[in-house]
C-alpha cells in the first residue's frame, strides 16, 4: 500500500530538537495543516468547525532512514531503561507513522490552524480524523510507566531583552523550555544547547533544575544577553 501526503504542517519548530514529546503539552503553541491542491476544496472541511479536536496521522519524515530496533529507551525513563518499541511512542517506528491529538483553532479554505501539535515544520500529513470524546476518551485507562514517572519541569530564566525581542512568542517558548528539550541522558551544566524556534536560534544551558537562556540568534545577527 502506498500512501501520499494530503497536507504538510507549518510549525515554529524548524528541526526535531525541542519539539514537545507529546501533543497538547504547551498551551498557545500554534501550527497549520496546509492541504495539497487536491484536498484544498472547502467542501473537504465542511462541518469541521463544530468539533474541537482532531487526530493527525503523519510521518516522521526526518527518521525515514534511521535504523529501527525492537526496543527503545523512552525519555520518561531517563533514557536508561529499554522497553519494547510498541510499548512506547518512540519516533523510531517501523513505518515512521505518528499520531497526534490537536485542538482545532480555526478552519480555513485549504488549511486548519491547530493548537498543541508536536510536529516539525514540513511534516507530511497523511490523514485527518475527528476526535470524538464519546469514543476516544478513556480517563480510567492505565498509562504504564507514565503513571509513575512524571516530567519534572525546569525553571526558565529568560532575560528581559530576549522577551522583548521575541514578543508574544516569549511565553510559548518559555513553556516549551520548561519541558527540558535536552536528551535525558545529557547532564552537562557547561554545555550550551541550540534550539531552532521560528526564525530564532535559542541558546541555553541547564544546571540544578534551572534552564538559562544565554543567547538569541537571528540569521547572522546576534543578541547577546
At residue 26, the pLDDT reads 94
What is the Cα–Cα distance from 171 to 29, expressed in whole angstroms? 10
How many Cβ atoms from other residues are within 10 Å of residue 76's Cβ? 20
Domain spans of the chain, in order of start: 7-136, 155-224
| Cα-to-chain-centroid distance, residue 39 | 24
Angle, CA of 211, 217 and 63, to the nearest 5°? 75
Closest CA to 181 of 203, 198, 164: 203
Report pLDDT digits (tens) over 175-206: 999 999 988 767 788 999 999 999 999 999 99
At residue 198, the pLDDT reads 94
How many Cβ atoms from other residues are within 10 Å of residue 110's Cβ? 16
Grid cell listed for 67: 535504523
Residue 31: phi, psi to the nearest 5?
A: -150, 180
At residue 222, the pLDDT reads 47
Alpha-helical regions (H) of the chain: 133-136, 160-166, 169-178
At residue 221, the pLDDT reads 52
pLDDT by 10-residue block (mean), the chain, 225 residues: 94 92 92 97 95 97 84 83 91 93 96 97 97 94 83 92 94 96 81 94 95 86 50
At residue 183, the pLDDT reads 81
The whole-model pTM stands at: 0.89
The CATH topology of domain 155-224 is YaeB-like fold (3.30.2310)
Q: For 7-136, give the CATH class.
A: mainly beta
Report pLDDT digits (tens) over 111-133: 999 999 999 999 999 999 999 99
Amino acid at each position: 500500500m502506498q500512501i501520499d501526503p494530503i497536507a504538510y504542517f507549518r510549525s515554529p519548530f524548524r528541526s526535531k530538537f525541542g519539539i514537545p514529546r507529546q501533543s497538547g503539552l504547551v498551551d498557545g503553541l500554534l501550527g497549520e495543516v496546509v492541504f495539497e491542491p487536491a484536498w484544498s476544496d472547502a467542501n473537504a472541511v465542511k462541518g469541521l468547525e463544530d468539533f474541537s479536536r482532531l487526530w493527525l496521522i503523519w510521518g516522521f519524515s526526518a527518521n525515514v532512514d534511521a535504523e529501527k530496533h525492537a526496543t527503545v529507551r523512552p525519555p520518561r525513563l531517563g533514557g536508561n531503561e529499554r522497553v519494547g518499541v510498541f510499548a512506547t511512542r518512540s519516533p523510531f517506528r517501523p513505518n515512521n507513522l505518528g499520531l497526534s491529538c490537536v485542538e482545532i483553532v480555526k478552519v480555513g479554505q485549504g488549511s486548519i490552524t491547530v493548537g498543541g501539535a508536536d510536529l516539525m515544520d514540513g511534516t507530511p500529513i497523511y490523514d485527518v480524523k475527528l476526535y470524538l470524546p464519546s469514543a476516544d476518551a478513556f480517563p480510567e485507562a492505565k498509562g504504564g510507566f507514565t503513571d509513575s514517572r512524571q516530567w519534572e519541569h525546569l525553571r526558565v530564566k529568560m532575560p528581559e531583552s530576549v522577551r522583548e525581542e521575541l514578543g508574544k512568542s516569549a511565553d510559548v517558548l518559555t513553556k516549551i523550555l520548561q519541558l527540558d528539550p535536552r536528551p535525558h541522558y545529557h547532564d552537562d551544566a557547561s554545555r550550551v544547547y541550540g534550539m531552532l524556534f521560528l526564525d530564532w536560534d535559542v541558546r541555553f544551558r541547564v544546571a540544578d533544575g534551572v534552564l538559562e537562556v544565554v543567547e538569541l540568534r537571528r540569521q547572522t545577527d546576534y543578541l547577546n544577553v
